[in-house]
Structure formats: C-alpha cells, structure tokens
Amino acid sequence: MRVSVALCTFNGARFLLDQLRSLAAQERKPDEIIICDDQSEDDTWQIIEEFRRRADFEIIATKNPQRLGATKNFEKAISLASGDIIFLCDQDDIWHPRKIRVFETVFSQNPQVCLVFSDASVVDQDLRPLGYSVWKRFGFNAAGRRAVRDARALEVLLRGNVVTGATAAFRSSLCQIALPIPSDWIHDGWLALIASAIGGIALIEEQLIEYRQHSSNQIGGTKMTRAQELQCARQTGSAEYVLVAQQYIEALRRLSGKERDWPGKSTSAARHKRLIAGKILHTYRRAEIHKRFAGRLSIVLSELITWRYFRYSNGMKSAAKDLFLWEQIG
C-alpha cells in the first residue's frame, strides 16, 4: 500500500519545519510528500528545499504560478499524489510518530472503508494543550461516534462536518468522484461528505496530531464562547442558508448517475441521495423562515414534526434560533 501526504503551504515558515520533522519521524515513513506552495512570501520555500535535500523519501514540491487559496491548493496536491492512501496535511501541526502506521492498519483491515479520521489535541502556538480535543470542539460526542461506527456517517455529516482535514486520510479511488472540489466548499467537508455517501468512513479514537492554533489559522479549532456562538447565529440569515442548499445540490448532482463507481455501497445509493435531498429541502425552509416574519412559526413546527431539525440541524437549538433570531428585513 503506497502512502502519499498532500501538504499545502502558504507563508508557513514559522511552524513548517516542526511539521516536516514530525513527518520524517513517522514509524511508517510516507512513500512521497506532495508539497504545493501557494506563493509564499516568507522563507517557506527555502525550508522546503532544505528539507527535500535531506529527506530519505520522495518529495515533490511545486510553486503555484498564481495563488489558488486553500481548497484549490489541496485539490492540486491531491491530484499530484500517486499513493493508494492520501493523507491531508497542514503546515503548522505536529503528527504523532504512530499516525501513518495506525491509519494504514485501519485501511488494511477494512477494505470497504473510503476515508479514515482521528481526533486531535488542540494546542496553542507553543504546543501547550488548550484543554480540549478537536472532537470536543465540534461536539462530536459518543452518539455521533457510534453512528459512524454503525455505517451512518452521512447522517452525522449532514448535521455538520466533524472531519478535520489535518486528521484525515482517504483512498485515492475517492478522487474519481470527489475531484474537482467545488470552489464554495471547504476541501475536508466535501471529501468527507462524498466519502460518507459512496463508501465507508472509519474513525480512530486517538489524538494523533497536535492541532496548533495561532493568529494565522485559516479555519482553526479554537473553542467559541457562548457569546461568540450567539453572534455567529445572529449573522446566519437567509442568504447563508441558500448558499448551503446550493452546496448540497452540487453534491447531489456529483453523485447522481455514478452509482456504479460507489465502492461496495450500491444498495445505499438511493437512501443516501434521499438524505441529501432532505438536507436541501430543510435548508431552503430555514432560508424561508429568515426572509419573512409572518408564517415562520408554522414552518418551524413543520420542520419539527417531520424531524428534519433533528436529522439535519441541531434539534431544538436550531428551532429556537429560527424562532427568535430571525432576520429582520426593512
């Protein structure tokens, strides 16, 4: 089984060498590292060149002629990988020495599994633990983990993404359907959704990376306060829900007509497409609530009665948001 690491860089000189050293220290070395630099303006490229001269495995490093952004840069790195298993890698984390070996074992023992992800320890810029894990940050609790183990990962992901790219690896066969990545999706959310629809997803209940938080994180995993959660909820209105619905329409379009390429999951194809269609309907209904005051109560009650708030959103919390934090127009 050949292993590739897809590493994307952009002005990462401050922490990149720590990450590269953790890759070199893996008990099971990668067969290749693909590095795509998105026009860094610091010493990132010099660090890459120096590491490449000393590495005892293949490193393919390229500079983008123009800046692509994180999602398209990862798409490029993935497309250049030749491995059977492709790991996603951020420039500022630290991998535990066992990571590749543990993941490879899971893939070897579960041939139907399309994507594997683990938990991660959230640390500050100096690698001091912040007291919680990535899974805790996303509310990925025991019930959610049990659902993934019971082959219901798509149901979990339709409520919200719990797969952090830096903790994930997938079979190269996923690329046949998942690439290209739509520009309005984050790469890890898209790959996890498509993987959960067409094949199995497995989880590893270990924290196999140090997920570093600092001022330059593009997304990050810093835990929000209650006030920040409320502010985020207030800023989510009809336009945002329409955008999300359109994202899932693209996912449904990508999956339709390609059931023959779904590895070992053809019997689930119709059900999975119905689940995604339900997410689209629910999201459009939430957009409608936030566009107008009149009638919102009847829509909220309808979405509660049909259980869509619980299947596709955050249950009563989402219903309460739609009732009391609706978008004021005019």
**pLDDT, tens digit (0-9, with 9 covering 90-100), for 202-226:** 999 999 999 999 875 555 555 555 5
Closest by CA to 33, choosing from 23, 21, 43, 22, is 23
Label residue 231 exposed, middle or buried (CB < 10 Å: 0-12, 13-18, 19+). Answer: exposed
**pLDDT, tens digit (0-9, with 9 covering 90-100), for 92-107:** 999 999 999 999 999 9
Helix (H) or strand (E) holding 115: strand 113-123
- Residue 222: CB atoms within 10 A of its CB come to 15
Task: Give the pLDDT confidence score for residue 225 in this predicted structure.
Answer: 58
Considering only 43-47, 213-217, 226-230, 308-312, which range has the smallest mean pLDDT?
226-230
Residue 23 CA to residue 16 CA, distance in Å, equals 11
Share of the chain above pLDDT 70, in %: 88
**pLDDT, tens digit (0-9, with 9 covering 90-100), for 240-255:** 999 999 999 999 999 9
| CATH superfamily of the 3-212 domain | Spore Coat Polysaccharide Biosynthesis Protein SpsA; Chain A (3.90.550.10)
209, 95 Cβ separation under 8 angstroms: yes
Q: Where are the domains of the chain?
A: 3-212, 226-324
Average pLDDT over residues 282-299: 87
For residue 329, what pLDDT band results from cuts at 50, 70 and 90?
very low
Does residue 117 carry a pLDDT above 60? yes
Average pLDDT over residues 254-278: 78
